[in-house]
Structure 1
Amino acid sequence: MTSAMTRTVTRKATARRRGLAARLWSERWSYVFLLPTVVLFGMYTVWPILSGLYYSLLDWNGLGAERPFIGLANYREAFGDPLFWKSLGVTLLIIAVTVPLRVGLSLLVALVLNNPRLPLAKLFRTALFVPVVTTTAIIGVVMGFIFDPAGGPVNQVLLDLGIVGQPVDFLGDPATSLWTVMGVHMWKWFGITLVYWLAALQTIPVTVYEAARTDGAGGWAALRHVTLPLLKPFLIIIALLTAIETMQIFDLVLTMTNGGPFFSTLTTEVYIYQQAFAGTTPRLGYGAALGVLFGVFTLVFAAIQAAGLRYANRVRSSS
């Protein structure tokens, strides 16, 4: 009995192996076409992650041949580093301020631009989206000239209108530098959030508005009882996508203020760059440890985003 059962199990396992091999062979061209993507993903995503984890365990400046293994010492130093926590606080402040403003203002503009009777609506959409496709580093350099206290156009207009009595150093004063960077960042990425809302508005069927008008609902009533409730699931998705994008503000801060003055605009990405590459004595190992911690922080946001997406899908399916 036992030998018969063994032979049966063996035959089934052999059949499964042959079936798997046959399926793989029948779909071989699919795997061939996927191979370049897998190779590139491994080279530019998997390998940098694994090497970053390895470097974070070393006391290495990125140049010398000596790479002493120090274990979790870099992580212990990071948890006790006040500048790291300050940079994280600056990053969170940027998210807390700019995300609600971007999401709210872009929704208002999208409601206006979604009106088919609005003249030049496509022109306005294009104009608001142009900064999105402009290189961020170029915008940062140009904004440095625009806000320059010595002859910059912003200060010139403020002086001509009598709003200020002397030039304002928008990027050189700790009281104004971060708010100036946040304003430029919002202007730069406003168009992508606007596109999100315009796409969400396109999902609302026209028949819903026709039914609301048949019931006597005016423009404000339709907005309050039809448009906004149907946009509620998209609010979660758009807010989370905007928050993830806002964390990637490295190039704008680097070109406008380089984290200054007095660390007032020091975001986590800029601090990692300064520690790993731009310091007097580069500390690639410590910078890698900071990068790993910031990556974990980003994964937390991604997990929140995934939960928000599931919640939004449940709301949409139940409505």
Structure 2
Amino acid sequence: MASQSLTAAPSAAPPRPGVPSRPGQRARQRRRNLWIYAFLLPTFVLYGLYTIYPIIASYWYSLVQWNGFSSDMRFVGLSNYEAVLADPNFWNSVKVSMVFLLVVAPLRVFGAFALAVLLNSPKLPFSRLFRTVYFLPVVTTTAIVGVVMRFILDPASGPVAAVLDLFGMPPVSLLGQSSTALYTASILYVWKFFGITMIYWLAALQTIPQDLYEAARIDGAGGMRIFRHITLPMLLPFLLIISVLTVEDCFHNFDLMYTLTEGGPFFSTEIIEIYIYRWAFAASIPQLGFASAAAVLFGLLVLVIAILQAWATVASRRMRGRA
């Protein structure tokens, strides 16, 4: 008996969770998966045609000399990259993009933080209404905002010029002067997307446990001490993520900048995206290879920002874990 019990075959292992054990169940699982893939297939196809393929094609086009229309396509290797790096207008667009970033990012991050702290206060009346008002520009089409603001700031017939005329002041062309155009566009960009950064900070504020605030009040801490010793340390991990997201978003402002100034006057607002567009589509003789090389360089810059975003996400999780 003992030998029989020792040599008895082991019992069958229990089925793993989520794995069908019967043939009929496995067949139904396969049919369900097929339906899932069938519904996802159009998304995969469209994403591949309009996102993946253009990205891959741009790398090839950056190595050829081609106007984008004729069949005359000549391989030139890295000559397009050398021409782009030697073009002073390219470096001007990089400088304009960096200045735009340095103006916009701090205003969005820290301005939205101050507003979010104010709107998160339970003592503020109509806080929900104010949140909606500040978020409304975000849902407005960016190109429409650019066209409308261009009309409003028109020094000849815009409402701003009419108000200045009532006070006997001469009209000011904020978008027509190279000294003010970029900063005016930056302020309009901050106003347009201010609500997104505000929502980020409001979501971060909601993660702070209310028990910490209640315990601090019981201990006699005032509002400034609570803000300094509880709110700021708890929000520090989110500062990394929100800052990187805002910086990355600042590189994608083609629609607003183009409708406002089209890169002018005198290339003072020509960001990298407008520089690429001008060579690819707006030039008298389009140079798609040249523009693709500039786009690849721009993509490498955005890739660096994406890597920083991934690092910021990991770093913020570690900081929250230590907290």
Scaled by the length of structure 2, the TM-score of the pair is 0.87
1:252 counterpart residue number: 256
User: Displacement, 1:42?
Assistant: 1.7
Give the alignment partner of residue 119 of structure 1, picking from 122, 125, 130: 125
User: Displacement, 1:38?
Assistant: 2.9
User: Displacement, 1:32?
Assistant: 4.5
How many pairs are equivalent? 295
2:52 counterpart residue number: 46
Q: Over the residues paired in the alignment, what is the CA RMSD in angstroms?
A: 1.7
1:60 counterpart residue number: 66
Give the alignment partner of residue 107 of structure 1, picking from 113, 125, 130: 113
1:181 counterpart residue number: 185
Q: Quick one: percent identity of the two aligned structures?
A: 51
Is 2:237 aligned against 1:225? no
CA distance in 2, matches of 1:191, 1:160: 33
Give the alignment partner of residue 75 of structure 2, picking from 51, 69, 73: 69
CA distance in 1, matches of 2:305, 2:120: 30
1:268 counterpart residue number: 272
Aligned AA (2:205): L
Aligned AA (1:170): L
Give the alignment partner of residue 277 of structure 1, picking from 267, 275, 281: 281
1:190 counterpart residue number: 194
CA distance in 2, matches of 1:297, 1:63: 28
2:145 counterpart residue number: 139
CA distance in 2, matches of 1:248, 1:218: 42
1:210 counterpart residue number: 214
Which deviations, in whole Å up to 9, do the C-alpha atoms of 1:264-298 show, x marking residues without a partner?
Answer: 00100001000000011111111111111100010
CA distance in 2, matches of 1:251, 1:110: 27
CA distance in 1, matches of 2:113, 2:160: 27
Give the alignment partner of residue 201 of structure 1, picking from 193, 198, 205: 205
User: Displacement, 1:45?
Assistant: 1.9
CA distance in 2, matches of 1:158, 1:234: 42
Q: Which has the larger radius of gyration?
A: 2
User: Displacement, 1:161?
Assistant: 4.3
Superposition pairs for residues 283-294 of structure 1, below 5 Å?
Answer: 283-294=287-298
1:242 counterpart residue number: 246
Aligned AA (1:35): L
1:4 counterpart residue number: none
1:12 counterpart residue number: none
User: Displacement, 1:34?
Assistant: 4.1
Aligned AA (1:209): Y
Specify the SS of the correspondent of 2:203: helix
Aligned AA (2:61): Y
CA distance in 2, matches of 1:50, 1:174: 37
User: Displacement, 1:154?
Assistant: 2.0
Is 2:177 aligned against 1:157? no
User: Displacement, 1:31?
Assistant: 4.4
CA distance in 2, matches of 1:315, 1:306: 14
Specify the SS of the correspondent of 1:220: helix
Segments of structure 1 that go 5 or more residues without pairing to the other structure are 1-21
User: Displacement, 1:178?
Assistant: 0.6
1:84 counterpart residue number: 90
Aligned AA (2:113): L
CA distance in 2, matches of 1:55, 1:239: 34
Specify the SS of the correspondent of 1:293: helix
User: Displacement, 1:215?
Assistant: 1.1
Scaled by the length of structure 1, the TM-score of the pair is 0.88
1:96 counterpart residue number: 102
Specify the SS of the correspondent of 1:209: helix
